[in-house]
């Protein structure tokens, strides 16, 4: 082996650096970033075909004449391409070629610094080099200040506080997806605006976040612009701009003198107590033990609170059968946006505590009183979420709120109802698809209607061969209805008819079992149980784990 060959074989490969330069202002580069550039033999940076690189411009004062510069020029950015693999194929080939160029320097023992604006691993171009080279060469990533942090700093607005959740979204997502995610989160930043801005703005509006959304363009760079997102013209938005929905906690904490009308609405009226407390039982609304608790109410609106001046609203939110996994994005967003939460204490406990929100919990018999409290708060400009289990329109709080809202004094208060996953749907999904064909939903509770009416409806549904979803089947004070219903149904159904017993579906004590109608034992049914009674067509089949799968065919036999 010759001397040059021996030297080549012994050569130690160079070190790869991914260097974050921060959001644009060179003074925001970290000390480590400056050190690495000074030590590097090769400085690489990405650019579009015009050749101008923002990263190079940020680091320009630290580049030396003896630096080897590698301009990694994208073959396409937003334009079309005739590459046989399309846009993605053209970029993949480019990344492979760029990585090979850098690998040649590293193999020669040179130190390579790939510089990028922001942070290298946060939507950064460097990450494509990292994936192709970091497993082959010694590598260090130098973090940088992101555009998100810069935008918040330039706005002077906190992004998140306490237990708030920050969601970072690319504006290139489909508009429906953007809308859902914006509705569900506390705070958000939408990146990559430019051509996506019209869709992002529509998503903000549809999610109800446009009034609080801010706009930051070229944060810390020349040409920086900030303002309300709603005031920005679509044609003026560059790629290097972000939309920011800042902390709601911070908004609630702003003093009235500093926040205007919205700040005033963010504080509870002095004459409304923070909590409407009472006894908590584990039973469903109609089955609470003891007398209804005393429920505090907001006083009637002052003379100056004309109906047309109402700025608050009441949103009745369905939380599904259990915890947060069952919440829709829209419901999650409404709960986060509310100034006040009103509801049965057991359901309120499912909602995370947020600083600045007031919670008005009560016992489970006082639906009308809760509705009145919520509407009175809304008349004062408060955003109120009435928390309901399951779907609020199915044996739940929506009816109570709408009944009270129909009174003349509340007709100016906006009321919305947001759907939730019902107990019937949740239990059916766990069992299979027993509600796959026509079905009827009944409550077995005779607290609000006589048993004779319930029995008549059971007979009619059974005679029509409908699957039945039976709510409120039994409780400590009602122990005979399940047996009566079973006997009545056996007059029309086979003893082998499948019955699904879904208890605490989605909760820690979840149990979903299937029994024959003839074997239905009332002692095994309580207020946390829902019953799904099959029709003559409902079928069962064992699964590999031994549990039965229950379904009702969509096709009904003729004749």
Q: Residue 182 belongs to what H/E stretch?
A: helix 175-184
Q: Is 26 helix (H, G, I), strand (E, B) or coil?
A: helix
What does the alpha-carbon distance between residue 169 and residue 457 come to, in Å, rounded to a whole number? 50
Strand partners, 70: 44
Looking at residue 264, its pLDDT comes to 33
What is the arithmetic mean of pLDDT over 125-144?
96
What is the arithmetic mean of pLDDT over 78-107?
87
What does the alpha-carbon distance between residue 16 and residue 221 come to, in Å, rounded to a whole number? 28
Domain boundaries 148-251, corresponding CATH code: 3.30.950.10
Task: Give residue-wise pLDDT tens across range 499-538.
Answer: 999 999 988 899 999 999 999 999 999 888 999 999 999 9
Q: Is 18 helix (H, G, I), strand (E, B) or coil?
A: strand
Strands (E) across 271-422 are located at 313-318, 340-344, 358-362, 383-388, 415-418
Looking at residue 78, its pLDDT comes to 67
Q: Residue 543 pLDDT more than 50?
A: yes
Task: Give residue-wise pLDDT tens across range 224-250.
Answer: 999 999 999 998 999 889 999 999 887
N- to C-terminal Cα separation, the chain: 93
pLDDT bucket at 293, cuts 50 / 70 / 90: very low
Q: Residue 275 pLDDT more than 70?
A: no
Task: Give residue-wise pLDDT tens across range 406-439.
Answer: 999 999 999 999 999 999 999 999 999 999 999 9
Strand arrangement, sheet containing 340-344: 358-362, 340-344, 383-388, 313-318, 415-418
- Assign a CATH topology to domain 3-145: Cobalt-precorrin-4 Transmethylase; domain 1 (3.40.1010)
Q: Residue 483 pLDDT more than 80?
A: yes
DSSP string spanning 411-438? Answer: TTS-EEEE----HHHHHHHHHEETTSS-
Asked: is 285-421 a CATH 3.40.1010.10 domain? The reply is yes
Residues 6+ apart with CB under 8 A from 187: 159, 160, 164, 165, 166, 167, 245, 246, 247, 248
Characterize the bridge pairing of strands 42-47 and 68-73.
parallel
Q: Residue 397 pLDDT more than 70?
A: yes
Looking at residue 291, its pLDDT comes to 31
Mean pLDDT of the chain: 86
Backbone angles phi, psi at 547, to 5 degrees: -80, 145
Q: Which residues belong to CATH 3.30.950.10 in the chain?
A: 148-251, 424-551
Strand arrangement, sheet containing 187-191: 166-170, 187-191, 241-245, 214-217, 225-228
Question: Which CATH entry fits the domain spanning 424-551: 3.40.50.150, 3.30.950.10, 3.40.710.10, 1.20.1250.20?
Answer: 3.30.950.10
Q: Residue 540 pLDDT more than 90?
A: yes
Centre a 10 Å sphere on the Cβ of residue 303 and count the other Cβ atoms it contains. Answer: 6
Looking at residue 19, its pLDDT comes to 98
Looking at residue 356, its pLDDT comes to 82
Q: Which residues belong to CATH 3.40.1010.10 in the chain?
A: 3-145, 285-421
Backbone angles phi, psi at 127, to 5 degrees: -60, -30
Find, among 476, 500, 475, 497, the residue nearest to 488 by Cα: 497
Residues 6+ apart with CB under 8 A from 129: 16, 18, 44, 95, 98, 99, 102, 114
Task: Give residue-wise pLDDT tens across range 199-214.
Answer: 999 999 999 999 999 9
Q: What are the CA-CA distances from residue 366 to residues 167, 243, 450 (Å)?
A: 37, 43, 21
Q: Residue 379 pLDDT more than 50?
A: yes
Q: What's the 3-state SS for 129-151?
A: HHHHHCCCCCEEEECCCCHHHHH
Find, among 54, 55, 125, the residue nearest to 95 by Cα: 125
What does the alpha-carbon distance between residue 488 and residue 12 come to, in Å, rounded to a whole number? 86
pTM: 0.74
Dihedral angle, C-alpha 31, 34, 40, 46, nearest 10 °: 120
Task: Give residue-wise pLDDT tens across range 296-353.
Answer: 334 343 333 444 445 799 999 999 988 788 889 899 989 988 999 999 998 898 888 8
Looking at residue 258, its pLDDT comes to 40
Q: Residue 397 belongs to what H/E stretch?
A: helix 397-405
Q: What's the 3-state SS for 36-80?
A: HHHHCCEEEEEECCCCCCHHHHHHHHHCCCCCEEEEEECCCCCCC
- Per-residue buried b or exposed e for 388-406, using 16+ beta carbons within 10 Å of the residue's own CB: bbbbbbbbbbbbbbbebbe
What does the alpha-carbon distance between residue 191 and residue 193 come to, in Å, rounded to a whole number? 6
Radius of gyration of the CA atoms of the chain, in A: 31
Residues 6+ apart with CB under 8 A from 31: none
């Amino acid at each position: 082996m010759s001397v040059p060959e021996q030297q080549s074989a012994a050569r130690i490969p160079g070190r790869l650096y991914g260097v974050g330069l921060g959001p644009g202002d060179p003074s925001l580069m970290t000390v480590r970033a400056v050190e690495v550039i000074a030590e590097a033999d090769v400085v690489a940076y990405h650019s579009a075909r015009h050749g101008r690189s923002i990263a190079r411009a940020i680091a320009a004062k630290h580049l030396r004449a003896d630096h080897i510069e590698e301009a990694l020029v994208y073959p396409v950015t937003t334009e079309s391409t005739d590459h046989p693999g399309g846009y993605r194929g053209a970029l993949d080939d480019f990344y492979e070629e760029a990585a090979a160029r850098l690998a040649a320097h590293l193999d020669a023992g040179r130190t390579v610094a790939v510089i990028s604006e922001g942070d290298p691993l946060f939507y950064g171009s460097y990450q494509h080099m990292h994936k192709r080279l970091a497993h082959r060469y010694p590598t260090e990533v130098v973090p940088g200040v992101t555009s998100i942090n810069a935008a918040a700093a330039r706005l002077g607005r906190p992004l998140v506080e306490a237990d708030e959740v920050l969601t970072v979204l690319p504006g290139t997502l489909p508009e429906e997806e953007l809308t859902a995610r914006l509705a569900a989160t506390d705070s958000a930043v939408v990146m990559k605006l430019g051509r996506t801005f019209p869709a992002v703005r529509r998503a903000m509006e549809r999610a109800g976040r446009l009034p609080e959304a801010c706009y930051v363009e070229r944060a810390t760079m020349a040409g920086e612009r900030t303002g309300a997102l709603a005031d920005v013209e679509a044609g003026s938005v560059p790629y290097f701009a972000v939309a920011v929905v800042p902390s709601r906690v911070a908004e609630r904490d702003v003093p009235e003198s500093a926040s205007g009308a919205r700040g005033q609405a963010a504080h509870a009226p002095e004459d409304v107590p923070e909590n409407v407390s009472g006894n908590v039982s584990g039973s469903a609304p109609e089955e609470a033990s003891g007398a209804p608790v005393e429920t505090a109410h907001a006083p009637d609106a002052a003379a100056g609170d004309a109906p047309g001046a109402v700025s608050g609203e009441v949103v009745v939110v369905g939380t599904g059968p259990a915890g947060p996994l069952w919440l829709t994005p829209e419901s999650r967003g409404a709960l986060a946006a509310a100034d006040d939460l009103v509801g049965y204490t057991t359901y309120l406990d499912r909602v995370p505590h947020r600083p600045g929100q007031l919670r008005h919990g009560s016992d489970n018999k006082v639906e009308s009183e809760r509705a009145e409290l919520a509407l009175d708060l809304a008349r004062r400009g408060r955003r109120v979420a009435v928390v309901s289990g399951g779907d609020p329109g199915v044996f739940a709080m929506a009816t109570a709120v709408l009944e009270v809202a129909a009174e003349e004094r509340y007709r100016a208060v906006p009321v919305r109802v947001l759907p939730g996953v019902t107990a019937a749907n949740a239990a059916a999904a766990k069992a299979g698809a027993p509600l796959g064909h026509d079905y009827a939903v009944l409550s077995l509770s005779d607290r609000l209607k006589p048993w004779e009416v319930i029995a008549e409806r059971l007979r009619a549904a059974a005679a029509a061969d409908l699957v039945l979803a039976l709510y409120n089947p039994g409780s400590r004070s009602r122990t005979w209805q399940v047996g009566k219903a079973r006997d009545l149904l056996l007059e029309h159904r086979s003893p082998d008819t499948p019955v699904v017993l879904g208890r605490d579906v989605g909760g820690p004590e979840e149990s979903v079992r299937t029994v024959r109608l003839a074997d239905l034992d009332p002692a095994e049914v309580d207020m946390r149980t829902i019953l799904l009674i099959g029709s003559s067509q409902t079928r069962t089949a064992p699964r590999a784990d031994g549990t039965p799968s229950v379904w009702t065919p969509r096709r009904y036999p003729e004749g």
